[in-house]
Amino acid sequence: MGEVLVRTALYNSHVSAGAKMVDFHGFELPIWYSSIQEEHLGTRKSAGLFDVSHMGLFRFRGDDVRAWLSAVSTQEYMKFQPGRCGYSHFLDHEGHIIDDMIFAVTSEEEVLGVPNSTMINTVMAWLSSNMPSDGSISIEDLTDQTSIIALQGPNSGKIMGEIMGGENVVQRFRCQEIASNGMNISGWVQGTGYTGEKGVEIFVPNEDAPMLWDALLAHPDVTPVGLGARDTLRLEKGYLLSGQDFLWPGLDKGVDIFPDGFLSRTTSQTAVPFGLHLDHDFIGREALVNSLESESKFWGMECLERGPSPRPGHRVMDGPEDSSEIIGYVTSGGPSPSMRMTGIALGYLRNCEEGDEVWIQSSGRRRVRSEVKRPPFV
């Protein structure tokens, strides 16, 4: 018998809506409802509704919890007051990214964090091994009892106000407990997401998730969105995907479409413009500083001509000739629905600058001329 897939509290809602369900790292989740393009554009133009309950949820507690989190991550948590959210990387002692995490400071003594679904156990083990021995810090895994619903898009605030009340409309990277509402739903809401649009992520007990999902989906301006469009939306914004755009070598799990160790990256190599503060000490800082001048950096690429879409593992060349050198590899790529299906890609390139021309080996016989871009693409 095959592996039994995990179903979120919204599984029946997805099936009722006609979703195409797939195996996503052990979870049975919707890949699409209508089409990737329709769901993508619906989010960009109005609002998309996402079930992201496969993601983790940790609760960190302790009098010095922000100071401790600062010591084990690239972010300076002490700069964030209660009611604020941020983004951070956890590094090993060699500076390699273990995982990235959106976090919310709920109080002086508590922080909530959202690790990636495939890294929940790994991150928990790493952080637990670096906790103070005096028991002053605790970590609670709330993943199994919590559903996460994301409402994303330019109309998300208006819709949130109509369904949940104006007191539950939060601004970008702000957060709060869910205020009193007509559905008597409790939980947490924060102005974060994975689409680059305005929006919120709502954390509720599993038993309340179907009621909230149905209420939001009943709004005429809301489109249900599957994993396919979630990926194209984040690709257009240049957001990293754990396990695809970086992979911790401690997992001892190679990816055969890349040279050994290609996805073992430091924060500086990913060129993330936020989430890194070097004005404090943290695990992996010395190795990260030593990588600041690395010739290999994370870039976007926009195809300048028609051809097969760029895909993970495609080689990037410095010219169209047979004698051209490999200067990098695509880690994420595909057609952009917002750009009339123009091919776009993300990947690590050596000695490149914005505006350079490169050639993506998109098939055995075809190289597509492309321009190096600094994301976002839209």
CATH of the domain at 29: 3.30.1360.120
- Tens-digit pLDDT profile for residues 212-236: 999 999 999 999 999 999 999 999 9
Same domain membership, residue 194 and residue 67: no
Same domain membership, residue 38 and residue 152: yes
Q: Which domain does 116 fall in, by range?
A: 58-141
Asked if residues 50 and 223 have their Cβ atoms less than 8 Å apart, the reply is no
Residue 30 within any structural domain of the chain = yes
Q: What is the torsional sign of CA 129, 132, 136, 137?
A: negative
User: Left if phi > 0, otherwise alpha if psi is -120 to 50, otherwise beta: which for 266?
Assistant: beta
- Tens-digit pLDDT profile for residues 105-144: 999 999 999 999 999 999 999 999 999 999 999 999 999 9
Asked if residues 251 and 46 have their Cβ atoms less than 8 Å apart, the reply is no
Same domain membership, residue 187 and residue 47: yes
User: How far, in Å, CA of 293 to CA of 112, rounded?
Assistant: 33
**CA angle at 367 for the pair 362 and 371, rounded to the nearest 5°:** 95
Q: Tell me, what's the pLDDT at 272? A: 81
Residue 92 within any structural domain of the chain = yes
Q: Tell me, what's the pLDDT at 2? A: 65
Among 199, 225, 251, give the residue marking a domain's end: 225
Same domain membership, residue 62 and residue 41: no
- Tens-digit pLDDT profile for residues 176-199: 999 999 999 999 999 999 999 999
Asked if residues 320 and 367 have their Cβ atoms less than 8 Å apart, the reply is yes
Mean pLDDT of the chain: 97
Mean pLDDT of 27-36: 98
Same domain membership, residue 172 and residue 199: yes
Same domain membership, residue 45 and residue 74: no
User: How far, in Å, CA of 193 to CA of 199, rounded?
Assistant: 6
Label the pairing between strands 58-61 and 315-317: unpaired
User: How far, in Å, CA of 19 to CA of 13, rounded?
Assistant: 9
Among 125, 141, 157, give the residue marking a domain's end: 141
- Tens-digit pLDDT profile for residues 333-346: 999 999 999 999 99
Q: Tell me, what's the pLDDT at 1? A: 52
Domain count for the chain: 2
Q: Tell me, what's the pLDDT at 253? A: 83
Same domain membership, residue 204 and residue 66: no
Label the pairing between strands 6-7 and 27-32: parallel
